[in-house]
């Protein structure tokens, strides 16, 4: 069968054409490596465009007290101290340079009055930190990165006459397997062209996974159709490890009505610019849900919360800007208490708080989205919103500086990688994460290729035959299950049993159901040919979604505490002992194995950025013994902010 496969040879193959993938590809190409970019959909239609609010970077344009240390603190607090500290440090330090670099490549950010990049407030960030383009920041990032790839191709055309000599984008292409050589090193990626069904092999010693998230595993999600956990599954099948897959973020504000748009994201910018959450009785209920660990940093009255927008130095922030996990749980509680909207959500109101001109200038996409999709004018009436599966904090276990996985030649960046965000991601950290670690993964892949001596890894032909047979299996069954049906029932099961609130009996039931789904997936059948066959595409995605769903459920059952994006109704408290544990998942034969692994220690100099009284909420006395007893009120290296402001947490 392998003679029917179209073959290409590259140095680096990047799977995914979103922010992290394009940044990795640009870096690999800049390092002189022949690079392929694989896009599951059309070039430029990446899910990155859904990140609307901005890219978090401590440039200090809106508040000169901001710096990387404060951003690091906010990120660790948002992740409930489960973050890989090295990743959080690198991200905080390098995000400003990556944003300025994007500007140099042509990104047109909104400006302050003195011409600097404008920065807005977001939940969990102590200072206005999100560089933004209205509420279309992700779109501007993709537009800029896309143009950067074209610019590199134009340079190659001048030097060699071939614009695709060093970097080429393969649109509408799905990768189904990573292939290795006999020693276990990456040797390439196998898949098919979606519009023709033709099989394709990219022979390359280095592969960068930049495939995004897993949202399609759940019924209600802000994620687009591409997000079926492809990279997570490819990594598992290649022998890499996943970590902390129980941490799934449910964004508090997704559209509720009409059903055709259920789950579509409503940017956090609405709340950052003054929007408030109200129940069916018209009450701003978030004041009733401020956790004790955050009480010192958040306003206790509506008057103080409203004053914060114009005088943040002398007032505490409104509780609508708590971390996303806290807001999502609070909304869920109000709905369950019978104080929800007619369509089962909560009201998000900015119409009564800001002028129409302000809303139209700051939130043009949101106004258009609600007007066109729900016939709601957000300058005149509130929005109906509710929690929606949005982001997975867990992912491929990688080396922080290079993005390297445990499989030689395999790298990962962005949402498909784990560690950076701990148990809960702060809004705005995703776009800067893509830039920082996309660049590092591209650089790491190029350095790996440079380190190879002798012949490159060669693809074993037998593995190609296996990959081809696996892909064609649904066509070879005379009768069986419809992939759409299995897919839909899997989504409902995950939503109902492993969703926002988890309980041991329900998660165990989900694992039992997943075994049945795996049997059914082995019987799915599709009709017709391989060209333009959505049923076949669904059958391929189903394998990935089932692997991811089992990882999420296993980890959710194992972690007996509530932290960040993981809420156990039967274990409602955070545990300092559980904070020290990463849950590692690997595929042994056909069985997913789970083991516990110690979390990397936070260096003393980074721990010293926090007050001991705050760290006691998260860490054991044994862990805190490394700190000097006098570390009660550290000052930011670049400012002398009060202990109150230095304790603000984020998301």
401-416 pLDDT tens trace: 999 999 999 999 999 9
What pLDDT does 3 receive?
56
pLDDT number for residue 628: 78
CA-wise closest residue to 117 among 60, 48, 52, 51: 60
354 noted as active-site residue: no
**pLDDT confidence of residue 51:** 77
Catalytic pick from 251, 262, 456, 566? Answer: 251
SS (H, E, C) 307-374: HHCCCCCCCCECHHHCCHHHHHHHHHHHHHCCCCCCCCCEEEECCCCCCHHHHHHHCHHHHHHHHHHH
Beta pairing class for 383-392 and 206-209 = unpaired
In the beta sheet, which residues pair with residue 192? 174, 199
Q: Which residues of the chain have pLDDT under 70?
A: 1-3, 629-651
Euclidean distance between CA atoms 262 and 387, whole angstroms: 10
Can you give the pLDDT at residue 45? 83
Q: Which of 129, 271, 367, 537 is catalytic?
A: 271
Portions of the chain given CATH number 3.50.50.60: 2-247+393-462
Give me the torsion for CA of 27, 32, 33, 37, rounded to 10°. Answer: 50
**pLDDT for 2:** 52
Per-residue HEC secondary structure of 65-133 comes to CCCHHHHHHHHHHHCCCCCCHHHHHHHHHHHHHHHHHHHHCCCCCCECCCCCECEECCCCCCCCCEECC
**77 vs 374: CA distance, rounded Å:** 36
Q: What is the pTM of this model?
A: 0.88
- 595: annotated active-site residue: no
* Cα 440 off chain centre by: 17
Specify the domain boundaries for CATH 3.90.700.10 within the chain.
Answer: 256-387
Residue range 256-387 forms a domain whose CATH class is alpha beta
Instruction: Give strand ranges (E) for 246-307.
Output: 248-255, 276-278
- Return the closest-CA partner of residue 83 out of 460, 513, 421: 421
Please list, in sequence order, all residues whose beta carbon lies within 8 angstroms of the beta carbon of residue 319, skipping any fewer than 6 positions away. Answer: 286, 287, 289, 290, 298, 299, 305
Q: How far is residue 283's CA from residue 385's CA, in Å, rounded to a whole number? A: 15
Would you identify the CATH topology of the domain 2-247+393-462?
FAD/NAD(P)-binding domain (3.50.50)
């Amino acid at each position: 069968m392998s003679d029917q496969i179209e073959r290409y040879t590259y140095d680096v193959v990047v799977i995914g054409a979103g922010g992290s993938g394009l940044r990795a590809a640009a870096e690999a190409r800049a390092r002189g490596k022949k690079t392929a970019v694989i896009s599951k959909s059309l070039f430029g239609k990446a899910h990155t465009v859904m990140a609307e609010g901005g890219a978090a970077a401590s440039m200090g344009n809106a508040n000169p007290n901001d710096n990387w240390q404060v951003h690091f603190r906010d990120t660790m607090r948002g992740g409930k101290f489960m973050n890989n500290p090295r990743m959080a440090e690198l991200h905080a330090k390098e995000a400003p340079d990556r944003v300025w670099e994007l500007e140099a490549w042509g990104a047109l950010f909104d400006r302050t009055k003195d011409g600097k990049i404008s920065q807005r407030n977001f939940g969990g960030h102590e200072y206005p930190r999100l560089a933004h383009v209205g509420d279309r920041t992700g779109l501007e990032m993709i537009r800029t990165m896309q143009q950067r790839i074209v610019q590199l191709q134009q340079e190659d055309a001048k030097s060699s006459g071939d614009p695709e000599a060093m970097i080429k984008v393969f649109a509408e292409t799905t990768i189904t397997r990573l292939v290795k050589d006999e020693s276990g090193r990456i040797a390439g990626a196998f898949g098919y062209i979606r519009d023709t069904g033709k099989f394709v092999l990219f022979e390359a010693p280095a592969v960068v996974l930049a495939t995004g998230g897993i949202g399609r595993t759940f019924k209600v999600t802000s994620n687009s159709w591409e997000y079926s956990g492809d990279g997570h599954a490819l990594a598992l099948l290649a022998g890499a490890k996943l970590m902390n897959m129980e941490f799934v973020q449910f964004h508090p504000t997704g559209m509720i009505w009409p059903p055709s748009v259920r789950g579509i994201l409503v940017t956090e910018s609405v709340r950052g610019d003054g929007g408030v959450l109200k129940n069916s009785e018209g009450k701003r209920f978030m004041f009733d849900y401020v956790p004790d660990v955050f009480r010192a940093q958040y306003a206790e009255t509506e008057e103080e919360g409203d004053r914060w927008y114009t005088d943040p130095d002398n007032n505490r922030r409104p509780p609508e800007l708590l971390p996303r996990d806290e807001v999502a749980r609070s909304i869920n509680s109000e709905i369950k208490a019978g104080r929800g909207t007619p369509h089962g959500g909560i009201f998000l109101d900015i119409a009564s708080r800001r002028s129409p001109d302000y809303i139209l200038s700051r939130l043009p996409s949101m106004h258009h989205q609600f007007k066109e999709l729900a016939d709601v004018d957000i300058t005149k009436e509130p929005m109906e919103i509710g929690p929606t599966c949005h982001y997975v904090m867990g992912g491929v276990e990688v080396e922080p500086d290079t993005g390297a996985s445990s499989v030689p030649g395999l790298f990962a960046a962005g949402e498909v990688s784990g560690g950076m965000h701990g148990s809960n991601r702060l809004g705005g950290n995703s776009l800067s994460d893509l830039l920082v670690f996309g660049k590092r993964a591209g650089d790491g892949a190029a350095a790996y290729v440079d380190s190879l001596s002798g012949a490159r890894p060669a693809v074993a032909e037998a593995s190609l035959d296996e990959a081809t047979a696996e892909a064609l299996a649904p066509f070879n069954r005379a009768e069986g299950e419809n992939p759409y049906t299995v897919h839909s029932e899997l989504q409902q099961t995950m939503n109902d049993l492993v969703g926002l609130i988890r309980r041991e009996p329900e998660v165990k039931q989900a694992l039992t159901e997943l075994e049945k789904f795996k049997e059914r997936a082995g019987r799915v059948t599709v009709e017709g040919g391989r060209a333009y066959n959505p049923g076949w595409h669904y059958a391929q995605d189903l394998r990935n979604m089932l692997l991811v769903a089992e990882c999420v459920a296993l980890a959710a059952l194992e972690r007996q505490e509530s932290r960040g994006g993981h809420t156990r109704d039967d274990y409602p408290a955070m545990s300092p002992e559980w904070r020290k544990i990463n849950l590692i998942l690997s595929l042994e034969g056909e069985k997913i194995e789970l083991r516990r692994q110690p979390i990397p220690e936070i260096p003393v100099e980074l721990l010293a950025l926090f007050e001991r009284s705050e760290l006691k909420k998260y860490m054991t006395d044994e862990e805190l013994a490394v700190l000097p007893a006098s570390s009660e009120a550290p000052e930011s290296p670049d400012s002398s902010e009060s202990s109150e402001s230095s304790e603000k947490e984020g998301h």
